[in-house]
Amino acid sequence: MANGFTFPMPSPATNIRLLAVDLDGTLLRADKVPHPASAEALRRAEAAGLTVVIASGRALPAVQSFTAELGLHGPCIGGNGADVAAPDGVRWRHDRIDRQAAANLVAEAHRRGLTTAVYGFDRVYLVRRPGGPEPEFQRIIRTPTQLVNEEDVASLDIGKVLVMEDPEISDETRRALLGVMDFGFLRSTDSEPHFMEFLAMGTSKASAVREVGQRLGISAAQTAAIGDYLNDLEMVEYAGMGAAMGNGHPALRAVANLTVGTNEDGGVAEFVNLLGVPKV
């Protein structure tokens, strides 16, 4: 059931032309499988003429894999907006992080015994911690991975640095990483409680959705977006119609136009239906 919906939704035929959808916590259930009703709704949206874009913090190859599995044919956004690919896989965008700034972050995270990974356009590099065990990052799936040493980071072409701490990023860790972060080059965001992610200044899911819209001649007013966490905040604010999942972060729900059901309840399908996409 929608929560806070108090105004008429536009018809996709006259207004909404682009729909951007997050993966984890939004389209995917806790078992990391797309909710069947939500998957079917996205196919209906595409059949009705909307461009459906999966926009995720996951690496681009994983986003492309989910898009193909869903039977969708739109552009793909990975790395929280660092990477954008056309429907045929051609690179539309790859925002690069300053290499030394990335290396400094990784070194500080390793000094604190944390796990790190850095994201290229077509792969994820798992970074060995000096004196530590070989990194095993089982959350990175559907993506080619490569082991590298800490000293290699400064030579890599990367768009995102990921730091993980279980069960969640502590305030102490956050302060330490922000203390070495070069604010002239980097910004931080969170996609889950145990992840802290670093991107180039100006990079976000919103900047990537804007890139897609500009290439396709679609404005922000003609864009709808839905997500669940802090890395979705800029995208939901950018869209003419932005929705938060019922399981979403309070800060995201506060800026969204409306809140729908949870990822376990098929909230994406609810949003698609509210957009006026006809049911079969």
Domain boundary among 143, 172, 200: 200
Q: Which residue type sits at 1?
A: M
Q: What tens-digit pLDDT sequence spans the chain (280 residues)?
A: 333 333 334 444 459 999 999 999 999 999 999 999 999 999 999 999 999 999 999 999 999 999 999 999 999 999 999 999 999 999 999 999 999 999 999 999 999 999 999 999 999 999 999 999 888 887 789 999 999 999 999 999 999 999 999 999 999 999 999 999 999 999 999 999 999 999 999 999 999 999 999 999 999 999 999 999 999 999 999 999 999 999 999 999 999 999 999 999 999 999 999 999 998 7
pLDDT tens for each residue of 259-273: 999 999 999 999 999
Is 6 a member of any domain? no
**Rounded Cα gap, residues 264 and 248, in angstroms:** 12
62 within 8 A of 28, measured Cβ to Cβ: no
| 278 phi/psi in degrees, rounded to 5 | -65, 140
**Rounded Cα gap, residues 95 and 201, in angstroms:** 9
275 within 8 A of 241, measured Cβ to Cβ: yes
Question: Going by C-beta distance under 8 Å and a sequence separation of 6 or more, which residues neighbour residue 84?
Answer: 75, 76, 77, 78, 91, 92, 93, 94, 208, 211, 212
Strand 195-200 to 160-164 pairing: antiparallel
CATH of the domain at 238: 3.40.50.1000
- What is residue 7's predicted lDDT score, i.e. its pLDDT? 32
3 within 8 A of 260, measured Cβ to Cβ: yes
How many separate domains does the chain show? 2
**41 shares a domain with 90:** yes
pLDDT tens for each residue of 89-111: 999 999 999 999 999 999 999 99
- Residue 278 is classified by DSSP as P
Helix (H, G, I), strand (E, B) or coil at 241: strand
Domain boundary among 200, 226, 252: 200
**Rounded Cα gap, residues 205 and 20, in angstroms:** 9
Host domain of residue 37: 18-94+204-274
pLDDT tens for each residue of 50-89: 999 999 999 999 999 999 999 999 999 999 999 999 999 9
Q: What is the pTM of this model?
A: 0.94
